[in-house]
Amino acid sequence: MPPTVILIRHTQVLMLRIQDYALHDPLITEEGVEQCGKLRESLKERLNGIPESDIAIVVSPMRRTIQTALYSLDFLIEKKVPITADAAWQETTSKPCDIGSPIPELTKEYPMIDFSPVDPVYPDKLTPAGAKYFPFKSALLARGRACVRSLYRRPEKYVIVVSHSGFLRTSVSGWWFFNGDYRIFDFADGNGADVEDDWADGPVPRLVQWEATLSGGLGWSWTDPVPLGEGLLEEGEQLPPKA
């Protein structure tokens, strides 16, 4: 049976507070750390009684998502719940703030995280080698579909993913996420029969959100759904200039 999925947006990050998207792979702010505390308490209550062996944590290999996971999910990490990084969950754009840091550097900074699954091309998202991470609609939607399929195949009963607002909204779930908020989903059918449109790259299991998190698990997020792909650049559209 596929897992229950908890999708989390990282907490407040410096580039959003000061509106400087030229910052490379920025950290969360003091307010972001405070938001992690509220997120931690909410998740600790929701996951109370669930064996740690039934849980896994997946994190985008960017500093803001890593920090959010370490501050808000420490109660699980301390009990040896595995935490792995996956480049598929990185943010959508090619702005400096959304370009990650080299994995050898991150491995030294965050030894408690397993970076071995990270695609060796990371953080490239602009050359042919990094084509699957291109900041264009077709690549982003394909990446989102791959993420959903990957979640569906997980053996754990609960998978917690710490990712980014843009990617979660436009490419995975079709819902808004406020800083540090989360949403919980089950798959529509345990045997995989209930799927979205059968894309050229294969069928996509359908995520169904819990009613309890329609405004976010912390009640901070908008309740209006968003069509997948809305606002994403089409292939060939001009990218924003580099800062």
Task: List active site positions.
Answer: 10, 164
The tokens for 228 are 């997948």
DSSP annotation of 239? P
Q: Could you tell me if 194 and 205 are in contact, meaning their C-beta atoms sit under 8 angstroms apart?
A: yes
DSSP annotation of 234? P
The tokens for 63 are 């500093």
Pick from 129, 132, 121, 16: which is nearest to 61 by CA? 121
Residues 6+ apart with CB under 8 A from 89: 58, 59, 60, 65, 147, 161, 162, 163, 164, 167
In this structure, the number of other CB atoms found within 10 A of the CB of residue 66 comes to 27
The tokens for 221 are 């997020």
Amino acid, single-letter form, for residue 167:
F
The tokens for 205 are 């299991």
Q: Could you tell me if 187 and 207 are in contact, meaning their C-beta atoms sit under 8 angstroms apart?
A: yes
Could you give the CA distance from residue 82 to residue 126 in angstroms, rounded to a whole number? Answer: 31
Amino acid, single-letter form, for residue 8:
I
